[in-house]
Each structure stands twice: as C-alpha cells, then as structure tokens.
Chains A and B, each alone.
Chain A
C-alpha cells in the first residue's frame, strides 16, 4: 500500500537554528514528490517538486533533497515567518491520474 510518513510531527526551533524535516515514502513507481507549505486557515501552497533520486531544489532558506526512499526539507537559519506546517506528497506511477497522496505534515515553529 502506498504510504507517506513525515517526521517529526512538530518541531520547535530558535531563529537561526538550522534543521531538517523528513518524508519517507513507499509507492509503486514514484512520479514526483511534492513539498507544500500550509499556513493556519489557508490551503497548501506549492514549494518544490522532485522527480529522481539525487535531485535537489532550493528556495530562499529551504532546500529539498530526494533519495529512493525519502526526502528531506532542510531549513537553514530559519526565521519566525518560516513557521508553518510542511506537507510532503507523492504521485505514484501505477496510477494514470494526477492525484497526490499526502503525509500528515510537520508543524514548524520558529521562535525569535
């Protein structure tokens, strides 16, 4: 069964304290791993898509990496405005649809 597991569930950091969020997946043929950011009361907002092991993408203080079994979202020198829930999702190859399967998310709090 396709599964996406994110850890930790919650993470508290001091401003400037770098860390990483993990997304482990088991899918039958990965056709894309997606990272989204969700702020309270809003819908998920797209951050990155990764397609193959070894791929990396960066945006400001965020960098996403991908292996054959997991993805990491590295946050370098975070600021309070990075506080949000970060969601990982996968699109699997056995399906000809565009649907995404989401993990439970990691709620990040960055204190000044």
Chain B
C-alpha cells in the first residue's frame, strides 16, 4: 500500500490567496483526520471525518478554513483567504475505525 498521500508537499502563496491541500487516505480506511503542526502549538486536530461525513470540526480555526470529503478516497482542506499565521505543516491521517492513525508526509504551507 502506498500509504496516505498528500499534495502538494510544499506550497508558497501570498496573503489573501486561496490554498487547497489534498489527501488520499489508505484504501479501506473509513476515518480521516486533518492536523496542523506548528512549533508553538504542536499537532492540533482540525477536523475529523468518519465514512466521509464530518464528525468533529471543533478544531477548525475560523470560517476561512473548510474541508470536504466527497468520497472515500479523497479529501481537501481549503483556506480562503490565506493569512501569514496559517503557515504550518498540515498533515492528513487515516485509520480504520478507532485503530491506529497513519499519517501522510504533510504539506508545508508558507503564506507570505
């Protein structure tokens, strides 16, 4: 299995631009998580899907952030408009039920 696949690996954009991060979970996994990692705050859960349905979005910082999971093999995290404080590494992870979370390699986002 190829594992959790995220794209792009790096994204540099200017403040105010729209950013879309993509994730392909491991086949057969039914739970998908979006985390954000910064030096100051560590790994923070943004949103969690179960069977393609958003279950817990309490970690989404504000309305500028949105996430979708149109099918079992694809999810997006969108930031519109982006701000410099959004700069971080964004990780996608998937699991089967309440099993082990497997993480992707992350997207390094820099908002100038």
Contacts and interface: CB of A to CB of B under 8 A. Distances in A.
Contact of B101 (A31, A95, A98, A104): A98
Contacts of B91: 43-44
Interface string B32-71: 0101000000111100101000011000000000000000
Contacts of A97: 48, 50, 55-56, 98
A49 B97 CA distance: 15
Interface of B is mostly: strand
A99 B56 contact: yes
A42 B56 CA distance: 25
Nearest to B58: A99
Given A43-B104, A43-B105, A46-B101, A104 B50 contact: no
B100 A46 contact: yes
A84 interface: no
Contacts, number: 56
A31 B50 CA distance: 18
A103 B98 contact: no
Contacts of A99: 33, 45, 48, 56
Interface residues of A, number: 24
Contact of B42 (A46, A91, A105): A105
Contacts of A33: none
Interface string A85-100: 0010101000101111
B100 A34 contact: yes
Contact of B102 (A46, A87, A91, A101): A46
Nearest to B56: A97
Contact of B98 (A41, A42, A98, A102): A98
Q: Which of B33, B42, B95, B102 has the most CB of A within 10 A?
A: B42
A98 B104 contact: no
Interface of A: 31-32, 34, 36, 41-46, 49, 87, 89, 91, 95, 97-105
